[in-house]
Amino acid sequence: MVTLRVLGSAAGGGFPQWNCNCPNCAGVRRGTVRATPRTQSSIALSENGSDWLLVNASPDILAQVRATPALQPARSQRDSGIAAVLLMDAQIDHVTGLLMLREHGRPLPLYATAPVLADLDRAFPLRRILSHYCGLEAHPLPLDGSALRLAALPSLALTPVPLDSKAPPYSPNREAPQHGDNIGLRVVDTRSGARLFYAPGLGAIEPHVMAELQAADVVLVDGTFWQDDEMPKLGLSAKRARDMGHLAQSGPGGMIEVLDAVPRVRKILIHINNTNPILDEDSPQRRRLAAHGIEVAWDGMEIAL
Ligand code: MLT
Ligand code: MN
Ligand code: ZN
């Protein structure tokens, strides 16, 4: 059996966001909105319960490790259950946690696409910085549909799926998309055939993405925004969801409509922005998701594949 543990289910900023007084953030702080705080975007996968693949390294990784005893199997004086890290993109909320793992005893195996590794070499030189600490053992991810196999998770076939989304604001590729700036991950348990598709940043449902959704048993997909103009409406930013590479849930062609087309799949939204009304468990938007059979990920959620 494969265990997927959601370490952080919020988008960049977390929930509540430190400087935000939107209805959700203010409400959860005051206790007037029924919602659960969430840390920033990351999941972990294991097949033996003590060796884990960390998928995205969030700025909240230290709190996430503390909240997840299985990530600290204590097999020696200095130890970690994190066998390797795999990145979906080079966004701050997905890579900054690497700095927090600098005490690792040997170079930390890191799997990321060539454009992501390039951003971490130049625009945000994490690799150079970490070379003065544990160092990173970088492995470029294939983008040709071939699967990656890791010794620590021997039964899993991990296939990167290139996605149309956005490179980070700091990247030279922000307005000049490169193949591999953003990926999703197909995870197949080769023993049972169980299949998962994880895509926390999904800007458009390209035909190959629809095929991934159809073929999966469980999908964990972009739950960032309810509405395309959510941030402008709240007066928080001029950016629409699509400007940031995220497909909103509501409206024609939105994520709810997309997921309605894959009726037998378990559907879970992840990477939820603090402004999203679905975080309020009493909201009509949350009820609408439930009516469509769509779940909302929370920190600590475990999925047995
Ligand atoms: C995004 O995916 O758009 C991010 O959460 C933005 C960020 O990290 O600030
Ligand atoms: Mn993000
Ligand atoms: Zn907020």
Q: What is the CATH number of the domain that holds 134?
A: 3.60.15.10
- Mean pLDDT, residues 118-123 taken together: 98
167 lines ligand 1 (CB under 6 A): no
Which of 124, 244, 271 is the pocket-test mutation for ligand 1 (most atoms within 8 Å of CB)? 244
- Tell me the DSSP string of the chain: --EEEEEE-B-TT-BS-TT--SHHHHHHHHT-S----B-BSEEEEESSSSSEEEES--TTHHHHHHT-GGG----SSS--SEEEEE-S---HHHHTHHHHTTT-SSPEEEEE-HHHHHHHHTTS-HHHHHTTTT-EEEEEPP-SSPPEEETTEEEEEEEEEE-S----TTSTTTTS--TTSSEEEEEEETTT--EEEEES------HHHHHHHHH-SEEEEE-S-SSTTHHHHTTS-S--TGGGT---SSSTTSHHHHHHT-TTSEEEEESB-TT-GGGSTTSHHHHHHHHTTEEE--TT-EEE-
Whether residue 243 has its Cβ less than 6 Å from ligand 1: no
Q: How far is the CA of 205 from the centre of ligand 1 (A)?
A: 19
23 CA distance to ligand 3 middle (Å): 7
Query: What are 232's two structure tokens?
Result: 């402008």
Looking from the CA of residue 11, the nearest atom of ligand 1 is: 5
Tell me what percent of the residues of the chain surpass a pLDDT of 70: 100
| Ligand (nearest to CA of 15) | 3
Average pLDDT, the chain: 97
Q: Give the total number of structural domains in the chain.
A: 1
Residue nearest to atom 3 of ligand 1 (CA): 244
Structure confidence by residue, pLDDT tens digits, 126-167:
999 999 999 999 999 999 999 999 999 999 999 999 999 999
Q: Is 240 in the pocket of ligand 1 (CB under 6 A)?
A: no
Q: Which atom of ligand 1 is nearest to the CA of 40?
A: 5
Question: Using 50, 70 and 90 to split pLDDT, how confident is the model at 179?
Answer: very high
At 37, the pLDDT band (50, 70, 90 cuts) reads: very high
CA of 13 to the centre of ligand 1 (A): 8
Q: How confident is the model at residue 114 (pLDDT cuts 50, 70, 90)?
A: very high
Domain span at residue 288 reads 3-304
Ligand nearest to the CA of 124: 1
Mean pLDDT score, 55-59 = 98
Q: How far is CA 273 from CA 13, 40, 58, in A?
A: 8, 9, 14
Residue located nearest, by CA, to atom 6 of ligand 1: 12
- Answer whether 97 contacts ligand 1 (Cβ < 6 A): no
